Structure 1
Amino acid sequence: METLAVALLGFFFVGYVVLGGADLGLGMLLPYLGRNREERHRTVSAIWPLFLANEVWLVAAAGLFIGAFPTLEGEVFSGLMVVFVPLLAGWMIRDAGLWWRAAGSGPAADWLVCGGSWLAAGGWGWLIASLLNDSPTEPTSLGLGAVTTLFVLLLFLAHGLGFAALRLTGTPLARALRLTGRGGRGGRHSLLLTSLVSATLAVLAGARLPLSEHAASDTALTLIVPLSLAALPLLLAAHLWLWRLVSRTGFRLSSL
């Protein structure tokens, strides 16, 4: 059960980093892709409603981490609190901007989306750097943290460009294709490459955690792991259905 719990946790975490990293990258690129109100509206619309489905992967990973590895969870969250605070702040700011944009707010909401995306991406970079540290329950040094965070920021930007090449239309799409290559194939290749790099980085960071040594009791795992396994195909099916629905209908926010 311990091995299965570790594998499920890794799968959920990788799923979020790959999927959530794409919409964070797109939010980071908002000033480049959207030069006016209509273009920003079109760019933000590309994030809807997929960002909600992407965050379910993070919720699933956090829930499994808390339930299956409660002792380690406490050590990680308390030891890395200084890292989690800006990460969560960026996440909330970005999501607030998306909801305000859906409600019809203008430039202020767009800046919240962009600024929150940058702050959350930087938080993820610092968290990954700390997990790669000799002691994954303590913040990393300034040097390693800065280098790793810069790499993650650039990775999310590239990931967002590939996502933009698949989701955007019009002038914002043309701007994205200038950097990814002409045509949908260039965007797909770019997104595939950055997805592989993101997944590899997430696995390397997670592998530093002493998960097996801090697993919950067999009784708890016997309850948690089967429930997580049962939820996994439902999560995959729902995400695939939503992606196909959005791609087919060209979902856009109704209000400018």
Structure 2
Amino acid sequence: MEIALLAFFAVGYFVLAGADLGVGMLLPYLGRTSAERGLVLASITPFFLGNEVWLVAAAGILTGAFPTLEGELLSGMYVPFVTLLLGWVVRDAGIWLRGRVDRGAWRAGCDGAVVAGSWTVTLSWGSVFTGLAAGLSSLIVVPAVAALFCVHGLALAGLRLRDGLQERARRFSGSSGERTIYALTSGGMALVCLLAGFRLPLAENLADPATLALLTPSLLVITPLLVASQVWLWWTFGRAQVRSQ
């Protein structure tokens, strides 16, 4: 049960938040002016914090149900995880603070923080996957992961934006359509996540039965609530598309 829930939350994070990161990575391409970049960021602003909750939940399960493995992962890949957290903070700060000061230089700096933070988080995940995929070179894994995030972000941008911004995002998908591309890249995100998870000795590092007896009922209560809140979020805000001014 705990392994299935860990996989569920990890896949949910990469499918949902991976698209947000892809949009941030390609912000200079999607938005050529400050006003356009503001509209692009507005397409993900209602969702990005909710999407990140899935990673927090996955980390909580890893810590509670697999405490020994969690310590080994952090000690073995300390640099990628610290870099990932720093990029996460920088990227979120750029999104939150962009509209706080009405100055072009301030907005440009926040846009730069979003781009740099998004690339940092994505490349850090690529490094983590490289560490888990023994035998594969980082020269293969990291660019492949970055490309997947970018295409996933373009597909989301094509779904959320309208007018000229949408056409810019659609140039990659062409006749296939952004819905098809989003479905394919979501599958790719899930596959990469699951392949990395298969490299982890999860069953051998489960916590003791007493701990699991307390943890599992809590997870069974929290999981439906999180899924319901995510569905409500997309039902409420996902139908509204961002149009060029």
Question: TM class by shorter-chain length?
Answer: over 0.9
1:241 aligned residue (232, 235, 238): 232
Q: Which amino acid letter does the alignment assign opposite residue 133 of structure 1?
A: A
Mapped partners of 2:192, 2:75: distance in 1 = 23
Partner in structure 2 of residue 23 of structure 1: 20
The answer to whether the 8 A contact 1:25-1:158 is kept is yes
SS in 2 for 1:48: coil
Mapped partners of 1:232, 1:245: distance in 2 = 20
Deviates more, 1:163-172 or 1:152-161: 163-172
Mapped partners of 2:212, 2:100: distance in 1 = 42
Q: Which amino acid letter does the alignment assign opposite residue 95 of structure 1?
A: D
Matched, 1:43 2:40: yes
SS in 2 for 1:219: helix
Partner in structure 1 of residue 114 of structure 2: 113
Q: Which amino acid letter does the alignment assign opposite residue 151 of structure 1?
A: A
- Which stretches in structure 1 are left out of the alignment for 5+ residues? 135-142
SS in 1 for 2:171: helix
Partner in structure 1 of residue 148 of structure 2: 155
Q: Which amino acid letter does the alignment assign opposite residue 48 of structure 1?
A: T
* Cα deviation digits, residues 84-135 of structure 1 (max 9, x gap): 121111111111101112424411101100111011100011111111226x
Q: How do 1:82-101 and structure 2 match up within 5 A?
A: 82-101=79-98
SS in 1 for 2:222: helix
CA-CA distance at 1:159 after TM superposition: 0.3
Mapped partners of 1:233, 1:126: distance in 2 = 32
The answer to whether the 8 A contact 1:37-1:107 is kept is yes
Mapped partners of 2:100, 2:206: distance in 1 = 43
SS in 1 for 2:137: helix
Q: Which amino acid letter does the alignment assign opposite residue 200 of structure 2?
A: L
CA-CA distance at 1:244 after TM superposition: 1.5
Mapped partners of 2:240, 2:142: distance in 1 = 36
Matched, 1:165 2:165: no
The answer to whether the 8 A contact 1:71-1:214 is kept is yes
Note the aligned Cα RMSD (angstroms).
1.5
| Identity over aligned pairs, percent | 48
Q: TM-score under structure 1 normalisation?
A: 0.89
Q: Which amino acid letter does the alignment assign opposite residue 107 of structure 1?
A: A
Q: How do 1:120-159 and structure 2 match up within 5 A?
A: 120-133=121-134, 144-159=137-152
* Paired positions, count: 239
Mapped partners of 1:53, 1:251: distance in 2 = 19
Mapped partners of 1:13, 1:247: distance in 2 = 22
Change (3 A) 1:244 1:102: farther
Partner in structure 1 of residue 188 of structure 2: 197
Mapped partners of 1:170, 1:97: distance in 2 = 25
**Which runs of 4 or more aligned residues in structure 1 lie more than 2 Å from their structure 2 counterparts after TM superposition?**
102-105, 247-252
Mapped partners of 2:180, 2:79: distance in 1 = 36
